[in-house]
Amino acid sequence: MTEHSLWRFSRAIHHALNERQTDQLEDMLDDNVDWAIYGPIDMFAFLGARRGKKAVIDVIKQIADAVSVHRFDRESIMLGEDTAASLMRYSITPAKATTPISVRLAHFAQFKAGRLISLRAVMDTFDLVEQTLGRQIHLPKIA
Amino acid sequence: MTEHSLWRFSRAIHHALNERQTDQLEDMLDDNVDWAIYGPIDMFAFLGARRGKKAVIDVIKQIADAVSVHRFDRESIMLGEDTAASLMRYSITPAKATTPISVRLAHFAQFKAGRLISLRAVMDTFDLVEQTLGRQIHLPKIA
């Protein structure tokens, strides 16, 4: 049985984030990869949509400069033939901060011929913002 | 081929949200269902963790009182034998607002004997908060 593309992709992306070695990741990205991590781009310019291998490699380098990843736990996972979805919990430290923060992220990935063609990620971004600021944002009670 | 539990669950939950009829949903929830929609509970008390059928039915009634669901699009979906994950885009109007807002939500569901035993949902909550407030929250540029 062939290893699922998700595992190769996961190793490649964490290798790129932790060691700043992007060669494995480049091999795993489709030339026209469609990429989006939804979130506040004013605070984190590496969030938002990217198109194509070069743009994704650039954004991974930006993320590697901006945060240190300490660990991640996969809380849920689903694998299809060429698809994968995970619910992950990351422990990271933003470059300008000293205390680690914890971020929950859900991603949906599609592969074709062993290469990533689409990634969509959703995070609990309000929690991310508050943890990054190190303080609570006052919110009115709506419901 | 039996219909996947996700479709029955999806109909039951939208029936409960739109018509406030929770009987179908009650039939689909395990007595000890484990439920969490991560997000700012100060603004929306119906977010957060719940345990057990009664607590989930109560929270669905709270959501039905707090928002109107206009439509939803399933952008990605993965189905396992007793599991499902979707990336959805909801168009909703909070009860105290007049303009609809758009929310992206990822959920991971587990079923057992046709009943929901676990649900985890992640939303782009910062976007949800800003849309609900009807204004931007100023954020420092971190990266």
Which among B83, B126, B140 has the least Cβ separation from residue A126?
B126
Tell me how close the Cα of B139 comes to any Cα of chain A, in angstroms: 6
Please give the average per-residue pLDDT across A107-113, as a whole number. Answer: 98
Residue B143: pLDDT band (50, 70, 90) is confident
Closest CA to A113 of A27, A15, A1: A27
C-alpha torsion sign, points B85, B90, B95, B96: positive
**Residue B63: its pLDDT value, please?**
96
- What's this model's pTM, rounded to 2 decimal places? 0.94
Instruction: Say yes or no to pLDDT of B1 above 80.
Output: no
**Residue B24: its pLDDT value, please?**
96
- A78 contacts in chain B (CB < 8 Å): 78, 80, 83-85, 108
**Residue A63: its pLDDT value, please?**
96
What ipTM was estimated for this complex? 0.93
Q: Find, in chain B, the residue whose alpha carbon is nearest to that of A140.
A: B43
Instruction: Say yes or no to pLDDT of A1 above 80.
Output: no
Could you tell me how many CB contacts below 8 A there are between chain A and chain B?
A: 138
**Residue B38: its pLDDT value, please?**
97
**Residue A143: its pLDDT value, please?**
85
Instruction: Say yes or no to pLDDT of A6 above 90.
Output: yes
**Residue B73: its pLDDT value, please?**
96
- A39 contacts in chain B (CB < 8 Å): 124, 126-127
Mutate to test the interface with A, among B88, B101, B132, B142 (most CBs of A within 10 A): B142
> Is A78–B78 a contact, with Cβ atoms under 8 angstroms apart?
yes
**Residue A120: its pLDDT value, please?**
98
Instruction: Say yes or no to pLDDT of A94 above 90.
Output: no
**Residue B18: its pLDDT value, please?**
92
Tokens 């039996």: give the residue.
B2
Which among A62, A87, A123 has the least Cβ separation from residue B143?
A62
**Residue A129: its pLDDT value, please?**
95
- The 10s digit of each residue's pLDDT in A8-45 is 999 999 999 999 999 999 999 999 999 999 999 999 99
Tell me how close the Cα of B50 comes to any Cα of chain A, in angstroms: 16
Residues 6+ apart with CB under 8 A from B138: none
Closest CA to B45 of A141, A137, A130, A123: A141
- The 10s digit of each residue's pLDDT in B38-88 is 999 999 999 999 999 999 999 999 999 999 999 999 999 999 999 999 999
Specify the higher pLDDT residue, A98 or B133. Answer: B133
- A143 contacts in chain B (CB < 8 Å): 43-46, 62, 65-67, 94-96
Please give the average per-residue pLDDT across A111-140, as a whole number. Answer: 96
The answer to whether residues A91 and B107 touch, using CB atoms and an 8 Å cutoff, is no
Mean pLDDT of chain B: 95
Residue-level length of chain B: 143
> Is A85–B104 a contact, with Cβ atoms under 8 angstroms apart?
no
The answer to whether residues A24 and A4 touch, using CB atoms and an 8 Å cutoff, is no
- Rounded percentage of chain A residues whose pLDDT exceeds 90: 93
- The 10s digit of each residue's pLDDT in B104-128 is 999 999 999 999 999 999 999 999 9
- The 10s digit of each residue's pLDDT in B33-44 is 999 999 999 999
**Residue B98: its pLDDT value, please?**
81
Tell me how close the Cα of B11 comes to any Cα of chain A, in angstroms: 22
- B140 contacts in chain A (CB < 8 Å): 43, 133
The answer to whether residues B83 and B109 touch, using CB atoms and an 8 Å cutoff, is yes
**Residue B34: its pLDDT value, please?**
98
Tell me how close the Cα of A86 comes to any Cα of chain B, in angstroms: 8
> Is A38–B94 a contact, with Cβ atoms under 8 angstroms apart?
no
Mean pLDDT of chain A: 95
Separation between Cα atoms, residue A59 and residue A45, nearest integer Å: 9
- A95 contacts in chain B (CB < 8 Å): 143
